[in-house]
Structure formats: C-alpha cells, structure tokens
Structure 1
Amino acid sequence: MTETPVLTKTDLTNPDLSHFVEKLDDGRARLNLAVEGMTCAACMFEIEGGLGTLPNVTQARANLTAGRVAVEWRDDAVDPAAVVGRLAALGYKAYPFDARRMESEEQQEAKFLLRCLGVAAFAAMNVMLLSVSVWSGNVTDITPEQRDFFHWLSALIALPAVAYAGQPFFRSAMRAVLAGRLNMDVPITLGVLLALALSVFETLNHAEHAYFDSAVMLLAFLLAGRWLDQNMRRRTRAVAANLAALKAETAVKFVGDGEISEVPVAAIRPGDLVLVRPGERIAVDGEVEEGRSEIDQSLVTGETAHVTAERGTLVYAGTLNVVGTLRVRVGAVERGTLLDEVTRLLDRAVEARSHYVRLAERAARLYAPVVHLTALLTLGGWVMAGAGWHQSVVIAIAVLIITCPCALGLAIPAVQVVASGALFRGGVLLASGDAIERLAAVDTVIFDKTGTLTLPEPELVNGDAVDPAVLALAGRLALTSRHPLAAAVARAAGATTPLAGASEEPGQGVLAVVDGEELRLGRPSWCGAEAAAARLAVADPEASVIAFRHGSATAVFAVRQRLRADATAVIAGLRARGLSVEILSGDREAAVSHVARQLGVATARAGATPADKIAHVEALRAAGRTVLMVGDGINDAPALAAADVSLSPVSAAHLTQSASDAVFLGDRLQPVATALDVTRRARRIMTENLWLAVVYNAIAVPVAIAGYATPLVAAVAMSGSSMLVILNALRARAPGRDPPGAGGPDGIDIVRAAPRPI
C-alpha cells in the first residue's frame, strides 16, 4: 500500500503540499491544515480573515476544537504553500492536518499547561505568605532591612516561576506582536511583566510595597482558565481513527479465472470483482453477483434486522458479512461510498459556527485594543494632570491588572466544571465546552430509535411462552452461531455448553443431530414454522423472528430490543417541560410506529438515511427550533453534529460519540432529562456570573483610573471577583426544577422517509 506522505515541521521552509490537497467534485480543491497558536475566537477571526484575502480562495474555516483550518479554492488557482506562508505571516505555524499527530501534540500541551499551573500556584502561595508578613510588618515593627529581605525573597520565587509558567501567554503574545496584531495574551503579558518590573524597581529603591504577589496570582488564575478551556477542547476532538474499525484496509480481489489475491483497498477500482468471506467487513460499495448471506448493516443504516444478500443486492462499505460467502462487483471504493458520505456530512456539519462562538469572536476582537487604549489614556491623563511618571506608570499598571479578563474568563468555565460534576453524578459525560449553554436552550428533542430509546442488545421477549426444556436445547444449539438473534436465544436460555457436531447452513441457520434427531435453528421457512412466525409478526411487528425445530416439533422465538425501562416516563417528562419530542430512525416503519405509540410521541419518521436525518435537523433549525439530537449509530453522526446539541449513549459507535456533545451512561434514559435540568440552571448561573464580571469592571476600572488602586489592590480585586464568580458557580451542583409546560398532541404521525441517492 502507498503510504500517505508525512510532512515534518522542518520541511516547511520549502513545503510541497500537493499530496495533501483534496480534489472536490465541483472542481475546487481543499487543504486541511493543523494550526499552532490558535487559542481563542479572536485567532479564528484573524485566520479566516487573513486567508480570505488570498486571491481565488473561496472559503477558509477555522475549527478551534480540532485545531485546524480548512481552506478551499478553485482548482489549480492557488499554490498550497502560499496558504502556509500567509498563516506564517499572521503569526501561526501550520502543517498538514494529521489526527494522530494532533492528538499527541495536544496531550503534550495539556501536560505543559498543568506543569505551568502547578508552578504558578506554588509560587503564588509562597509569595502571598511573604507579602502577608510585609503587610503586617508595615503596621508594626518591621525594619527596612527585613522588608527588603522579604521583597528579594519574593523576587527569588516569583521571577523564575513567572519565566516558566508564563510561557503559554508570552509565546502567543510574541507571535501576535511580530505579526503586527494584538490578541488577548498581549495585555496579560504586559500586565504581568510590568508588575514584575515595577516590583524589582520598588525593591531596589527600598519602597514599602512590591507587587510580585500580584503578578504570580494573576498568572495562576489565568493558567487555571486556560487549562480548563484547553482540556474541554481536547475532550471534544473527533479522532479520525474512530472510523478505522469500519474501514477495511485490504480486500480479496479476483485477478484471473478463479484466482484471488489480497490487495490494499487503494488498489481496488470500480468494476473489479471482490470476494467477501463470512465474518469480514465489506470494504466497498457494490452489487452481489454470486452467493447468499446475511448482512449486518445496523451501524451504517440503523436497520436492526439483518438484510439478506443475494444476487442483485446492493451492499455497502463498513457493513459486516455474517454467514455466507459473496462475490461483489465493485461500484465505489473509499470516496463515494456510503461510509464516505457519512464522513463528509459529518465534516460539513462540524464546521457550522454556533451563536456562542460568533459572540465570542466579536468580544475577543474588542477586548485587547480597549484594554490597551484604556491603560494608555490613563497614563497620558495622569502625566498631563501633573503626576510624576512613577505614579502614572503605577496607575496604568493597576488598570492593566484590574481589567484582566480573569472573572470574565472564569464566568463560564467555572460553571462548566461544576455543572459537569453534577452531570457526571447524573450519568452524563460532557465532551464539548459549550454544550451546557446549548443544552439549556433546547426546545426540540429528536430521538433515534435503535439503541437509543431501546437497549442496544436484543433480547428474547417470549421466553416464558416456550417450554424450558425446548429453550435450553435451542440455547445450546444457538451457541454454535454468531448470529445476534441466536445469541439472544443463548443468553435467555443461560446456555454454556454448545452442541457437538453442529454445522452452519449459509443464509439459513445452524443444525445438529442429537440421538438420531435433527435440530435446526434459523429461518422459519427452513425450520417449517412459517405460519407461527407470521402470527407472531402480526402480534409484535417490531420483533425479529428465529425458529427452532426438534424432529417434528417447532418453536418460534421473538427477539427485539426492549425499550429502556424509564423511556415512557422520561418522554412524558420532556413533554411536560414544554419540549417538542420526535423520533427519527432508519429502522422499519412498523418498528418505529410501534415504539411511537408506546411512548406517545406525536411525530416519528422511519427509513431515514444519514442525508435525510441531517436535512430534517437543518430544516428544524432553519425554522427557528433549537434541536437536541439523541442517537447511537454511525448513521446518526452527521445529524448529531448538525444539531444545536447532541447526546449519545455510552454503547454508541466511536464515531457517534465523537460527534456528540455528551455521552450518557447506563441502561436508563433519565440522564437525558437530567442533562436538560442541570444545564438550564447552569445557564442562569452563567448569566449571573457575566453580570457579576460586568459590574466588577464597571466599579473597579474607574477606581483604578482614578488612582485609588495600587497594582496590589488591583490584583486582590481581580482575584476577589474571580473567587466571587467561582463561589456563585458552585450553586450549579444542584439541578433546578423548571415549571412544566403543555404537552404535545396525542395523535401519531408516522412519516416514511423518501429514498435519497447517496
């Protein structure tokens, strides 16, 4: 197999990026780049705006969560190296995006931030102890020599601590300044460095006050916020390797008359003939030319029952061939397959920009210049008023420190952390930093059926109606099969010893001979139990049927996924909160209709493809609805990403979990309701925290400008406002109670999705 070229950082002096450019179907080209130094919404705006100035670039989208930028242009109209060069001119290092490399570097960055936080916190505690000694000494009997000693001891701790712990801010600020721009780290760096410089100057001149504690405390708080933000973004990153479990690396290709050869998937072309053996995952989209089997395509289409594959049947990459051997004529490989379509839809949906990010972009663009201008005007104003340069500089530094965005920066992350703990106790694991805000705004909840409203493993539902001896014998025979329906029979029977001499009949079932009598387990038609199976299907249309024959006696087993135990109560509770509830499933119409009637859900949509699901979600959003999507299958991943916010059970496929904003644990549906209760309370507290930060700035900034706050007082005020925000955030630990609203209509409207071409 031809390996994808790897571009190292040292190659970027003269990069050849042609191998990494993706040709799109409409004649455009696309390049995905990993970008170092993109830390906030202002960076995203800067990058998108800067790349948009390149001629012939049609789109540039920055993804802060993934740490990458997708750039598109008209084919052959842009040199990819020019894109990297433009980013370098903006102060950002870029290289071709590789998920594994990006994850590794993010882990290293997280460890570095944690070390910096530890150093800053340790230094802050020790310097604060020394400062307390100086404060108390200044009002008692401390000598100037003792005070100077404490100040120099503080400098000995603070200077190396800040030099190490401040690197995340210093590096970012330096890149910005060298690129001729400002970001939020520039005023932070100025405030810290000027506070240290002023402290050293004051110590050299035997002054009563030094501000080493201000600089170190400020840095510790800022690092805590930066680490929380970075950790949240790391957890939400979707790793491309999650698709590896569904993508076959090789396929068995017919290369001559009856001759086969195992070749890389990249060597397969449309029109080739491939062999798919039992238990193998299909590597291509194509049509069965010969053979008969059953295909498990639940992860891709959401269909619970196995699909019979025979001549003329279409099969898809990523699905599993269960029992028989198939010869498949290739229709599409890699690009153009159903699995590729799911991935493409997912990528498109992930690039959508939320309201919160757009709001943050505007705030971030304004923050840095406003802070600098305020401090500069303060300095100039005091100089013009006749104050000396020393006093004017001290006041300007106090303004820089007191306007530090610590309280504002912690207003949201502090609530996120506390609410995340409450959600964890309720069985919900957050994967996205702003999921709390988006969950709180939900007015429409869409559930997938299979594995979401129902439990992921099918169960035998009519075991009580079958003779225990018959069930025990059928269970032993079922142990010899890998079919999920047979596995459900074996679990229900508690079988542990398989029957000896059993064999599998492809596409039919398994058989064995015991004491001269033949035993069969499989298709009702193969076991002579068609009439009983038909009656059972009418009584329970959602159930899948498997039959057992012992001599002339037959038994029919109904297997289906059970509803989660509390599904009915949870759905009723959501409707009582005034939420609109829908079911959107790729499963059969009869199965979806049956579940909708059981739960009292007014609107249910059956037979939906991945494209149908994402289109329905986008239509609801276009109508002004705020959508929560709850699903577990690969086919749900694009819709999960397209929704305003999404949840998936812990049993969901890896890709689905990556596309989700949160994962819930256990076999109950209650965590969905818990998530909405906790987040609604958390959103109220976030709003309160933002107002606290605004009120703090409205009072503290004028005080600092008026010269009534030293850098030390400014640092204390900044820290005090941060502590107030954190204490208020602790109230998010207990879920709130929202008043119930009107429920939905009682009628059931089942809509069969029209087939859509992939």
Structure 2
Amino acid sequence: MCCTDMALAYVEAHASWSEANTRPSLGRDYTAFVATLPDGSARAEFAVEGVRCAACMTAIERGLAPLPDVASARLNFSDRRLAVTWRREVEPDIPAVLAALAALGYTAQPFTPGRLADAEAAETKRLIRALAVAGFASMNVMLLAISVWAGNVSDMTPENRDLFHWIQAVIALPAAAYAGRPFYEGAFRGLKAGRVTMDFPITLGVVLTLVMSVVESLSGATHAYFDGAVMLLFFLLIGRVLDQTMRRRTRAFAENLAALRSERATLAEPDGGLRDVPLTELTPGARILVRPGERVPADGVVEHGASDLDQSLVTGETAAVTVRGGERVFAGALNGSGALTVRVTAAAGSTLLDEVEGLMRRALEARSRVLVLADRATRLYVPLVHAAAALTLVGWLAAGAGWHAALLDAVAVLIVTCPCALGLAIPAVQVVAAGALFREGVLLNDGTALERFAQVDTVVFDKTGTLTLPEPVLTAGTFDHDSLETAARLALSSRHPMATALAVAAGGSEPFPGAEEAAGLGVRAQVDGVELRLGSALFCGAEAEAAAALEADPEASVICFRAGDGSPAAFPVRQGLRPDAAEVVAGLAALGHRVLVLSGDRAAAVEAVARRLGVAEWEAGLAPRDKIARIEELQRAGHRVMMVGDGLNDAPALAAAHASLSPVTAAHVSQAAADALFLGRGLAPVLSVLTAGRRARRLMLQNLWFSAAYNVLAVPLAAAGLLTPLFAALAMSGSSLVVTANAMRARLKTKASAGPATLRSSAAVPVAGAA
C-alpha cells in the first residue's frame, strides 16, 4: 500500500472514529441545553465542526428542514453555531438533530462556550502543524527537484535521477498524508453526504499527482511531480491559516454575557429568612436581597434600601446611578455601597440581558448570511474546475491519446487551477490591512469586515462614551477656590465617578480622616467640628443651586458640596466630547457619508452634542430594540450603515449594522459584537477604517480578477498538453506569489481623504470646556 492509500485509509478510519465518538447518546439528558422562548417554542444551539464555506450553511439548513417539528434551522457562519427552533408544545429532539448533521457529514455538540473555544484552539494548532510539515517538505523536495532538472540537461545518469525521485517520494508522501488531512477530511465528509466541496478538487489534484509521480518513478520517467503536490498543500495551508487567524471570534459574545449573569440569587422569604436559590427558581413577584459588590440577578423594582449601581454594562452610562425605593434595576448591574431588597419583575429568560442576547443572536445570524467575495467566487469555482479537468480527459481519449497521456493532462489542469491564488486572494489582504490598521490604533476583530467598511455610506454614532469621553470631567466655570479644594479632598473618600472627576480636576491629594460614605447619598466627614457633605443635591440641601447649574448646562450631572451651615455649591460634571469629534464628523460629511446620532440618553443632552458637532439627524431615549429598528429601517432603504457604540445596550445595534466599530473602553459584549476596536481618545480611526476598507476591497477584487485571468490563460495551455504537471505547479506557485505581493500594497499608510491632517488622539483634558 502506497502512502497516498495509507492517507486515504487514515482519513476514513478517523472519520469513522469521529462518528462513533460523537454519535448522540440516547440516554444523555439534553434539557440543560434547551431554552424556552417567550412564544412557548423551544430552542437549542449547536457547535458544528467542518463548516468551510457558504455552501455548507445551505446544505445544513436544507438538510434539517425535513425533520418533524423543526420550525427553523439557522447557521451562524461567523462562529459555526447552529440555532434550531422547534414548534410550540413540541418536545425538542436533540439526538435527531445530531444524527441528521452526522448524516450530512458534520459533527456537532450542544453549544457550550468553553467547548467551542477549545475546538478553535485545537483546529488552529492542527493547521499550524500541518503548515510547518508542508513547508519543511516543500523546501527539501524542491531542492531535490532542482537537482533533477539540472541533471536532465547535463550528465545525470538515469539511476541517480531515479534515486532522487524516490528520495522525494520518501519525504513527500508522508508529509502530504499528514499536511493534507484538513482537505482530505473535508472532501471525505462532503462525498459521504453526497456533496462536492472546495476540498474535493484539492484532494483529487494532490492524490492524482502523487499517484502519477509514483507511477512515473516506477517506470523510470524523466519527470516526477512530488514537488508540485507538497507546494500546492503549502500554499493552500497558508490561506487556511490566515483565514482561521482572521475568523470572527464571536464566542466572546456568549462568554461575556455569561460573565454578567449571576448564577444564583438570595431569596427573601415571607418570614424574613434568606435562602440561596438558582436563578431558575425566581419568579415575578419574588423578593431578593442584593448585597454590595454583587450583580443584580434579575430585573426588578427596589423595595427597600439605597445604593449606587454601576449600570455601564447595561445602559452604557458610565456614571453610577443612585437608586432608592420604587426605582427600576436591571440584571447585570453591579451593586455598589448599599444592600437592596428588590421585587422581581422579570426573571431568567425574560430580563433586559436576555433581550439583548436574543437581539444580538438574531442580528449575528442575519449578518452571517451575507456572502463575502470569497464565498461568491467559490460557488462558481468548484464546478468549473471539475468540468475543465473532465473535458480534458475525455477530449484526449476521444482524440486517440492513451490513458497515461490523457490523465497526465487532466492532472495538469487540476494542478494549474488549484485554488492557491483564490485561497490567498482574500486572507492575505485581510492580514496585511489588519496590520496597517493596528499601527493606526485599530484592532480588527473580523477580516471580512474590511469589505463591509468599504461599502458604508451612513455612519451612526452612540453619544455617551463614543462621541464623548468615557470618564466624566468637571466643566469649566467660576468656583470658590477654597470650596473646590475642600470638596476635592472629601471626594477622595468616594468611589463615585463624579467624585473622582472632582478630585482629579481640583487636584485633591489627601482625604479627610474619618470620612464615611452614606449609601446612595454621598460622603461626609467631621473636620474641626464642622460637618462636610459631598453628594446629591438632597443630601447637601443644594436643590436650588443644582437646578441653576443644570439650567446653565443641560448635559451635565451635578455633584454638590456643603460645609456646615454655609452656602452650598453645585459642581457640574459631564463627559466632554472627544477632542477630534467635530473634525471627524466634518470629514465624514466631506466624504459623502450620512451621519446620525442614536442615543439612549435624555433629549437635551443628545441635542446639545449634535448641535455642537453639526449633526442634523439625532434621536434620544432609544432602547436597544429601538436602535436596531432604526438601523434596519435605514438598511431597508438601501443604506449601508456603520454603527459606532460602546455600551451593552449598543451591542445588538453593533451586530445588526452592516459594519461596526467600538472604542477599546467599551463593554466587553460590545467589543465582541464589533468588527473592530479603536484605541486612544480620538475618533480619527473611524475615518481610517473606511479608507482602509476601500483600499482592501479594491485589492481583493484585483486579486480575484488576476486569479480568473490566470486560469483563463493557463487552463487552455494545460488542456492542450502544453503544460506538464511540473510547469503547472510552477505556474500555480507563481500566481500565489503575485497575489501575495499585491496584497502587500495594503500596508500603505491609511490617510483620511478629508478633514484636517491633525486627526490624532490628544492628551487628556482635566476640565471640559464649552466645546
């Protein structure tokens, strides 16, 4: 048995082993993986292995459609997660879904974030090992091949030539058996399910080339083609590793949302006792205790207590919110200083966090169905390659050529058309462009987003934390110096962001001894027999001063100070605009982009920011669902929308938009939903990604057109018998090098084509000015 036969036998055995070890166990309890939707239907998610292209998505969804009681099956191509929904009042049959997937040639398991992360890491390591083996074998086999080429035109004896061929075989056959496993397994799964995938022509070309090389070596022929086979695998593996490197890791979305959830809650019994219970036992109307430092486990209304809540991951607002009896709280908010008794209004499955997760999931599924350039090219490529090789074989046989000559020309067609250039055309540009953006402070999460950035014509900004800086600052104004200095020292004893802003602006350096925090109100201290207070207007008796400050600056929040019976002071604090926000908005307008501001903040604050930036279209008080609805409305009208936001409430909108961008200070879930993150305090990266996207898409199209032109020229030559498999391999390698060299042009420095040249991140400004 030759090494290629051994390779195919190994693939078949490995696939049988995988099927045997992933076959659903009928006795296993899958109830933990099933979620009940608000309409009463059941839903489960699966991590699917072996999904390579958009054709796999169609095959899986159509393959599951005939299953009884399955209402829908949707595969998220970005993270290979399959969502299956059953009809209402039907018991979900997970083993049937797993069996159907196995029959289609895919292995799957009920989705768990940790398992998916492990699978991705293992696949990456496997591809890198295969690439290393192929690279090592290519170098050594090519050195031997060059010796044979030189010897064929000089004085090498046939015995030495045959020896060099067999040395090549000893290196190439086991290397190809190992390095080609990702392609062999994909081809085998496809054939088993009755489908022909992109891996099939690759496998066919490699196996036939190796078989022909062994036959030629046995017959003492002048040429063997082991170098062509291993070089083919080497270039294809480069493309696959690049694709794996740039693949969207949306599993972070599920992991980050899970981090916001409390697994258990403290239930307050009617008799006054406390009991630790899982979230599944909470029902609307139950009373729970939320201690300082804990996350709120469910949506509800505060019955007793007062505290400061950090709701930045839920609402996007960075300032801590003071809550008291009768005010609403949301699951995922972090409790600060005081204990709260909360009456549950929405428990597990129907909280705001669950709504955000559902909105994001649907948005990501919809986005994954948009085919990128490589997918569209692949759909046409495979049948054309097969047709060209088959016609070559049949044509030469009909012309009277022997099987050996006809098969040799057909193999040459397969090699010359092997999708090395196509496989590198897109990932190479993605990686180079990602490196160029990184140097400009942009971290690309998803390589395919470059194509979407190139198509954007409308840019939607969130306000808080996006157009404005994430940290609040004291606004410019005339303050009594002594009061400000004293208030700043007192502010050092508080964890409230507004107090921190006051301490930074006034340079507080030493807190007052004995200062204590009043939960949900502020901080106080006794100094020389005088009580000092810093906090809310009510706590400091400064309602009139606070109202006057808010009237002067509607965007601001107010922190008040009072010393004994003296006159109180109100210090307005707000988030200042990013230093280059106005220039970036002007630059976007100059490029012809439509600019909108969609925010969950109050109308007065949003209007003031929009007016200063010159943005005519703005909306305030929007919930996550409202933002998605507005973005979808724009996209139905034919616009390609880029969303720029930072809060958890922005995450569904980020996923729903055609492209998305977040600051690196954004909520973790928003970072996972965004196509790219930007560093620094400026907004110049918004212009950078749009410019880089246009350049990258232009280079991708050039590479694809070159690949097409190369095939148009090379296929007739190979089919006519003018290219041996050796020269076909050289031509294939040359096309890959041309594509890679063209992709390197994406390293050119990204420059904003509009707006001032000084769009750079600037240093922190301790006090926000009027602009």
Taking structure 2 as the reference length, what is the TM-score of the superposition? 0.91
Number of residue pairs aligned between Structure 1 and Structure 2: 734
Q: How far apart, in 2, do the equivalents of 1:14 and 1:581 lie?
A: 56
3-state DSSP class of the match of 1:456? Answer: coil
What is the alpha-carbon distance in structure 1 between the residues aligned to residue 309 and residue 558 of structure 2?
Answer: 16
CA distance in 2, matches of 1:358, 1:683: 11
Q: 1:487: Cα distance to partner?
A: 1.6
Which residue is 1:630 aligned to?
644
Q: Quick one: which amino acid aligns to residue 422 of structure 2? A: L
CA contact (8 A) 1:304 1:587 kept: no
- Tell me the alpha carbon deviations over residues 57-112 of structure 1, each in whole angstroms, 9 at most, x when there is no partner: 32211122212211223132763322111111111111101111111111011011
Q: Deviations over 1:216-251 (max 9, x none)?
A: 000001011111112222544434220133212222
How far 1:192 sits from its partner (Å)?
0.6
Counterpart secondary structure, 2:651: helix
2:730 matched to which residue of 1? 716
Give the alignment partner of residue 493 of structure 1, picking from 506, 513, 524. Answer: 506
- Structure 2 residue runs of 5 or longer lacking an equivalent are 1-19, 756-771
AA paired with 2:544?
A
Aligned to 1:70: 83
Deviations 1:196-222 (A, max 9, x none): 111111112221111111000000010
Q: 1:293 aligns with which of 307, 315, 319?
A: 307
What is aligned with 2:276? 262
Return the alpha-carbon distance in structure 2 between the equivalents of residues 470 and 739 of structure 1: 48
The structural deviation recorded for 1:740 is 5.9
Alignment-derived partner of residue 473 in structure 1? 486
Q: Compared with structure 1, are the counterparts of its residues 721 and 237 closer, same or farther at alpha carbon in structure 2 (3 Å cutoff)?
A: farther
Task: Describe the shift of the 1:306–1:234 C-alpha distance in structure 2 as closer, same or farther (beyond 3 A).
Answer: closer
Matched, 1:352 2:356: no
Identity %: 59
- Residue 516 of structure 2 is matched in structure 1 by 503
5 Å-filtered alignment, 1:523-542, equals: 523-542=536-555
- Partner of residue 653 from structure 1, selected from 647, 667, 679: 667
1:613 counterpart residue number: 627
Give 2:35's aligned residue.
Answer: 22
- Any stretches of 5+ residues in structure 1 without a counterpart? 1-6, 742-758
Alpha-carbon contact 2:290-2:340 (below 8 Å) kept: yes
Question: Mapping of 1:396-411 within 5 angstroms?
Answer: 396-411=410-425
SS in 2 for 1:186: helix
Q: Distance in 1 between matches of 2:483 and 2:108?
A: 66
Distance 1:258 1:354, change over 3 A: closer
C-alpha distance after superposition, 1:554-573 (max 9, x if no partner): 33222111111111111110
Which of 50, 67, 71 aligns to 2:63? It is 50
Query: How far apart are the structure 1 equivalents of 2:311 and 2:640?
Result: 31
- Residue number in structure 2 paired with 1:602: 616
Partner of 1:569: 583
- Which of 151, 155, 180 is the aligned partner of 2:169? 155
Q: Does 1:187 find its partner at 2:198?
A: no
Deviation at 1:509, TM superposition (A): 1.1
**1:310-365 superposed Cα distances (whole Å, 9 cap, x missing partner):** 33222211123334332211111121111111111111111004575177555444
Inter-partner Cα distance in structure 1 for 2:99 and 2:59: 15
Q: Which amino acid aligns with 2:427?
A: P
Which residue of structure 1 aligns with residue 259 of structure 2? 245
Shift of 1:384: 1.4
Q: CA deviation at 1:502?
A: 1.3
**Alignment partners' CA distance in 1, 2:153 and 2:373:** 48
Q: CA deviation at 1:286?
A: 1.3
Which moves more between the two structures, 118-127 or 309-318?
309-318
- Secondary structure of 1:708's partner? coil
**What's 2:386 paired with?**
372
Q: Which amino acid aligns with 2:77?
A: L
Instruction: Pick which of 358-367 and 426-435 moved more.
Output: 358-367
> Whole-Å Cα distance in 1 between the matches of residues 580 and 372 of structure 2?
38
What is the root-mean-square deviation of aligned Cα atoms in Å?
2.1
> 1: distance between equivalents of 2:394 and 2:331?
68
Separation in structure 1 between the aligned mates of residue 643 and residue 61 of structure 2, nearest angstrom: 29
Give deviations 1:710-733, integer Å, cap 9, x for gaps: 111111111111111111111111
Between the aligned partners of 2:624 and 2:293, the Cα distance in structure 1 is 25
Among residues 292, 313, 323, which one is paired with 1:278 in the alignment? 292
Whole-angstrom distance in 1 between the partners of 2:576 and 2:59 = 51
Q: Distance in 2 between matches of 1:176 and 1:402?
A: 23
Asked if 1:100 is matched to 2:114, the reply is yes
Mapping 1:553-592, distance limit 5 Å: 553-592=567-606
- The secondary structure found in structure 2 opposite 1:174 is helix
Q: How far 1:303 sits from its partner (Å)?
A: 4.0
Matched residue, 1:704:
718
Q: Which amino acid aligns with 1:404?
A: C
Over residues 283-329 of structure 1, what are the superposed CA-to-partner deviations in whole Å (9 max), with x where a residue is unaligned? 11112222333433332223455444333222211123334332211
5 Å-filtered alignment, 1:322-401, equals: 322-353=336-367, 356-357=370-371, 363-401=377-415
Deviates more, 1:284-293 or 1:384-393: 284-293
In structure 1, what residue type is equivalent to 2:613?
L
- For residues 530 and 641 of structure 1, the distance between their equivalents in structure 2, rounded to whole angstroms, comes to 42
Partner of 1:756: none
Residues 388-467 of structure 1 correspond to what in structure 2 (within 5 A)? Answer: 388-462=402-476, 465-467=478-480
Of stretches 727-736 and 384-393 in structure 1, the one that deviates more from structure 2 is: 727-736
CA pair 430-219 structure 1, distance change in 2 beyond 3 A = same
For 2:557, which of 526, 532, 544 is the aligned residue?
544
Of stretches 54-63 and 169-178 in structure 1, the one that deviates more from structure 2 is 54-63
1:419 Cα deviation after fit: 0.9
Instruction: Give the superposition deviation at 1:639.
Output: 0.4
State the AA in 2 paired with 1:472: E
Tell me how far 1:737 sits from its aligned partner: 6.3
Q: Distance in 2 between matches of 1:405 and 1:45?
A: 22
1:197 aligns with 2:211: yes
